[in-house]
């Protein structure tokens, strides 16, 4: 055996291995394609599994919050299921697509109100299986082969499919907004929350601004500047009380004590606000959408998540 | 009161513009963004008006002596997590659960944050997505593997080539998936060709963009609707061109 033959031999062994694998694959695939081996229920199961996998995985590529992954998959599956069942019963494809999109949209609106997230989250992955991909592909293929009539037909089908999806989504949104009568779902909508809030504070237009300066609830985070303003406001009230107490002269000693305390606290707040004053405008690089570090060097803000 | 109108207007404008930009970049619809901005203004007790298109945002706050901010948006992606978080901040702000300063900080933090899933997870997701859709589009169990590899490859190539315009992204992905599908088909002819190519192309199709466009047009938002239609058509054309180039390349080779 000459040394020059060695790579050839290696090539030959690799190609034989490849052909063996190929033979095995052909065997496997032909076994799968043989209809006597498999029942149709397994096929249906595979189809459902594939659709669920497709919607869920595409939701992940769109960076969906992990909590909503299951719900988005469910919404998308419901839409696809509607379309598939209708087309099995010889429904026209366009109407089936429209009804599927309608289903996705209305499910998304209900989920959005129930789970307090924007409806788009559930719509984006859910609409994917309804997109007329086959029609677009056929258009492309036919125009590549020079069959212009077929290409035109496919193009019209694709355009109508997209229009159908849009109309279904519009219908779903309109119905969800107009006819949603469930008290619980209404209460959760952003619009309703705001209106109720405005109604309760209508008597005093300055109430909103005052609300902003109220003592913070436990767990919410405010800038130091606001807190100091807040504290000062309360201290002025406290000061008035103290002076009143001095005037009525129940105990001048007590009044002096209170005033001393107040002074000490004021000094403390002043130093604190000097140390931690927030910048008035956010730094520009913090707003760029790069993978930079955290926006502020201050202690990390409480992670802002929906609480149920 | 320590805070007066001239003090608070720029802050509200800043919040609105950041919020609108974050939402548009994350892929929200223009009508939705305008609604959010409007709600924020109403809850803060100032008059507010906004004009949002997919490429630019204008917000004006206040009646007399208003603060006007303009923001230009150059690239849009789909990031549902950021959208949800920004929506939550808007909700809290409207209910006065948090102050405007806190809201501004939250928004800045959300915009500067890294994406929630790692790059590897996104590759895997794209691969699995293609695999699932290959079954849906008429394939069987055997087509899953080439479709998975095609999706993975396309996503990886996009990452390697870096940031590109939308047209080139779609084109490259289409070429890659088509070539992968054709290779698989020629290697073992029992792999069906159509489901694999379709599975590679369907996740890239601008379905939502087109649907949003029609919705915008019907709502009377002519500028935003036309812009989105153009984007969707361009993307679809790029996909078709990419698939054609892939097929022709395979014929030549």
Q: For residue range A263-278, list pLDDT tens digits in order.
A: 776 676 666 555 554 4
Per-residue confidence at A103, pLDDT binned at 50, 70, 90?
A: very high
Which of the pair, A245 or A116, is modelled with greater confidence? A116
- pLDDT value, residue A2: 44
Identify whether the C-beta of residue B52 lies closer than 8 Å to the C-beta of residue B24: yes
Tokens linked to B210 = 């087109």
Tokens linked to A152 = 């035109």
Instruction: Say yes or no: B28 contacts chain A, CB-CB below 8 A.
Output: yes
Which of the pair, B225 or A44, is modelled with greater confidence? B225
A113-162, pLDDT tens digit by residue? 888 888 888 988 998 899 888 888 888 888 878 888 988 988 898 888 88
The DSSP secondary-structure symbol of A237 reads: H
Instruction: Say yes or no: B186 contacts chain A, CB-CB below 8 A.
Output: no
Identify whether the C-beta of residue B172 lies closer than 8 Å to the C-beta of residue B243: no
As a whole number of angstroms, the distance between CA A172 and CA B156 comes to: 36
Q: Closest partner residue to A128 among B1, B127, B203, by Cβ?
A: B203
As a whole number of angstroms, the distance between CA B140 and CA B134 comes to: 8
> Tell me, what's the ipTM?
0.88
The DSSP secondary-structure symbol of A200 reads: H
Per-residue confidence at A72, pLDDT binned at 50, 70, 90?
A: very high
3-state secondary structure chain B: CCCCHHHHHHHHHHHHHHHHHHHHHHCCCHHHHHHHHHHHHHHHCCCEEEEECCCEEEEEECCCCCEEEEEECCCCCCCHHHHHHHHHHHHHHHCCCCCHHHHHHHHHHHHHCCCCCCHHHHHHHHHHHHHHHHHHCCCCHHHHHHHHHHHHHHHHHHHHHCCCCHHHHHHHHHHHHHHHHHHHHHHCCCCCHHHHHHHHHHHHCCHHHHHHHHHHHHCCCHHHHHHHHHHHHHHHHHHHHHHHHHHHHHHHC
Contact partners, residue B4, CB within 8 Å, separation at least 6: none
CB-CB neighbours of B219 under 10 Å: 14
Residue A66 has pLDDT above 70, yes or no: yes
Chain mean pLDDT for chain B: 85
B47-99, pLDDT tens digit by residue? 888 999 988 999 998 887 888 999 998 888 888 999 999 998 998 888 777 88
Share of chain B above pLDDT 90, in %: 17
- pLDDT value, residue A74: 94
Question: Which of A214-218, A256-260, B164-168, B180-184 is predicted with the least confidence, judged by mean pLDDT?
Answer: A214-218
Q: Which value, in Å, is the radius of gyration of the alpha carbons in chain A?
A: 33
Q: pTM for the whole thing?
A: 0.69
As a whole number of angstroms, the distance between CA A120 and CA A170 comes to: 13
Cβ within 8 Å, pair A194-B43: yes
- Residue of chain A whose Cα is closest to the Cα of B135: A50
Instruction: List chain B residues with CB under 8 Å of A173.
Output: 215
The DSSP secondary-structure symbol of A117 reads: S
Question: Which of A95-104, A216-225, B154-163 is predicted with the least confidence, judged by mean pLDDT?
Answer: A216-225
Tokens linked to B31 = 């009508």
Chain mean pLDDT for chain A: 70
Instruction: List chain A residues with CB under 8 Å of B28.
Output: 118, 120
Which of the pair, A228 or A127, is modelled with greater confidence? A127
Beta-bridge mates of residue B57: B52, B71
- Residue of chain A whose Cα is closest to the Cα of B7: A280
Which of the pair, B50 or A32, is modelled with greater confidence? B50
Tokens linked to A98 = 């429209």
As a whole number of angstroms, the distance between CA B139 and CA B133 comes to: 9
Question: Which of A111-125, A151-165, A196-210, B167-181 is predicted with the least confidence, judged by mean pLDDT?
Answer: A196-210
- pLDDT value, residue A274: 56
Identify whether the C-beta of residue B60 lies closer than 8 Å to the C-beta of residue B67: yes
B95-153, pLDDT tens digit by residue? 777 888 888 888 998 988 888 888 899 999 999 999 999 988 887 778 888 899 999 98
Residue A38 has pLDDT above 70, yes or no: no
B112: left (phi over 0), alpha (psi -120 to 50) or beta: alpha
Residue B164 has pLDDT above 90, yes or no: no
- pLDDT value, residue A225: 55
Which of the pair, A281 or A189, is modelled with greater confidence? A189
- Residue of chain B whose Cα is closest to the Cα of A212: B99
Instruction: Say yes or no: B135 contacts chain A, CB-CB below 8 A.
Output: yes
Per-residue confidence at A192, pLDDT binned at 50, 70, 90?
A: low
φ, ψ for residue B191 (rounded to 5)?
-70, 125
Cβ within 8 Å, pair B131-A221: no
Residue A206 has pLDDT above 60, yes or no: no
Cβ within 8 Å, pair B108-A205: no
As a whole number of angstroms, the distance between CA B125 and CA B158 comes to: 14
Of the candidates A125, A60, A123, A63, the residue with the CA atom closest to the CA atom of residue B79 = A63
Instruction: List chain B residues with CB under 8 Å of A302.
Output: none
CB-CB neighbours of A157 under 10 Å: 18
Q: How far apart are the first and last CA of chain B?
A: 77
Of the candidates A264, A56, A293, A245, the residue with the CA atom closest to the CA atom of residue B109 = A293
Cβ within 8 Å, pair A26-B188: yes
- Residue of chain B whose Cα is closest to the Cα of A194: B94
Mutate to test the interface with B, among A77, A282, A292 (most CBs of B within 10 A): A282
Residue A294 has pLDDT above 50, yes or no: no
The DSSP secondary-structure symbol of A304 reads: -
Q: How far is A119 from chain B (nearest CA, A)?
A: 9
Helix (H) or strand (E) holding A171: helix A148-179
Contact partners, residue A61, CB within 8 Å, separation at least 6: B122, B125, B126, B129, B155, B203
Among A181-190, A255-264, B36-45, B127-136, name the most confident range.
Answer: B127-136
- pLDDT value, residue B69: 92
Share of chain B above pLDDT 70, in %: 97
Of the candidates B84, B11, B97, B89, the residue with the CA atom closest to the CA atom of residue B48 = B11
Instruction: List chain B residues with CB under 8 Å of A50.
Output: 131-136, 144
As a whole number of angstroms, the distance between CA B30 and CA A219 comes to: 33
As a whole number of angstroms, the distance between CA B206 and CA B211 comes to: 9
- pLDDT value, residue A11: 56
- pLDDT value, residue A117: 86
Identify whether the C-beta of residue B127 lies closer than 8 Å to the C-beta of residue B152: yes
Which of the pair, A53 or A228, is modelled with greater confidence? A53
Whole-angstrom CA distances from A52 to A120, B134, B153 are 19, 12, 22
Share of chain A above pLDDT 90, in %: 14
């Amino acid at each position: 055996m000459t040394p020059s033959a060695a790579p050839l031999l290696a090539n030959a062994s690799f190609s034989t291995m490849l052909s063996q694998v190929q033979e095995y694959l052909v065997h496997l695939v032909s076994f799968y394609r043989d209809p006597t081996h498999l029942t149709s229920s397994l096929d249906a199961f595979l189809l459902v599994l594939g659709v669920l996998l497709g919607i869920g995985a595409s939701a992940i590529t769109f960076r969906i919050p992990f909590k909503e992954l299951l719900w988005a998959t469910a919404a998308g599956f419901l839409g696809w299921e509607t379309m598939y069942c209708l087309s099995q019963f010889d429904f026209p494809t366009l109407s089936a697509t429209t009804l599927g999109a309608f289903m996705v949209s209305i499910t998304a609106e209900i989920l959005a109100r129930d789970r307090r997230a924007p409806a788009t989250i559930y719509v984006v992955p859910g609409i994917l299986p309804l997109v007329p991909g086959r029609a677009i592909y056929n258009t492309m293929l036919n125009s590549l082969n020079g069959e212009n009539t077929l290409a035109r037909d496919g193009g019209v089908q694709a355009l109508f499919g997209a229009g159908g999806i849009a109309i279904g989504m519009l219908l779903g949104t309109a119905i969800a907004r107009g006819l949603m009568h469930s008290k619980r779902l209404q209460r959760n909508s952003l619009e309703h929350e705001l209106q109720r809030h405005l109604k309760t504070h209508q008597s005093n237009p300055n109430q909103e601004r005052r609300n902003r300066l109220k003592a913070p609830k436990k767990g919410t985070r405010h800038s130091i500047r606001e807190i100091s303003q807040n504290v000062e406001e309360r201290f002025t009230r406290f000061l008035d009380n103290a002076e009143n107490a001095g005037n009525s002269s129940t105990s001048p000693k007590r009044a002096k004590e209170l005033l001393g305390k107040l002074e000490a606290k004021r000094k403390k707040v002043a130093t604190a606000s000097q140390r931690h004053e927030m910048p008035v405008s956010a730094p520009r690089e913090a707003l760029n959408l790069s993978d930079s570090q955290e926006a502020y060097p201050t202690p990390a803000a409480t992670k802002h998540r929906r609480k149920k | 009161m320590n805070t007066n109108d001239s003090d608070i207007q720029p802050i509200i404008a800043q919040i609105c513009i950041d919020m609108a930009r974050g939402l548009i970049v994350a892929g929200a619809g223009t009508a939705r963004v305008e609604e959010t901005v409007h709600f924020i203004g109403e809850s803060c007790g100032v008059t507010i008006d906004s004009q949002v298109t997919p490429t630019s945002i204008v917000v004006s706050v206040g009646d007399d002596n208003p603060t006007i901010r303009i923001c230009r948006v150059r690239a849009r992606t789909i990031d549902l997590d950021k959208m949800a978080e920004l929506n939550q901040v808007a909700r809290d702000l409207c209910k006065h659960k948090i102050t405007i300063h806190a809201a501004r900080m939250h928004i800045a933090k959300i915009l500067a944050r890294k994406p929630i899933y790692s790059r590897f997870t996104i590759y895997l997701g794209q691969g699995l997505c293609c695999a699932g859709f290959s079954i849906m589009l008429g394939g069987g169990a055997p087509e899953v593997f080439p479709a998975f590899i095609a999706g993975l490859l396309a996503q990886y190539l996009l990452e390697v080539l870096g940031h590109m315009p939308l047209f080139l992204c779609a084109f490259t992905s289409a070429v890659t998936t088509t070539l992968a599908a054709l290779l698989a088909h020629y290697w073992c002819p029992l792999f069906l060709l159509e489901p694999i190519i379709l599975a590679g192309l369907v996740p890239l199709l601008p379905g939502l963009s087109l649907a949003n466009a029609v919705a915008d047009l019907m709502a009377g938002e002519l500028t935003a609707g036309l812009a989105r239609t153009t984007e969707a058509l361009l993307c679809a054309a790029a996909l078709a061109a990419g698939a054609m180039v892939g097929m022709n390349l395979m014929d030549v080779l």
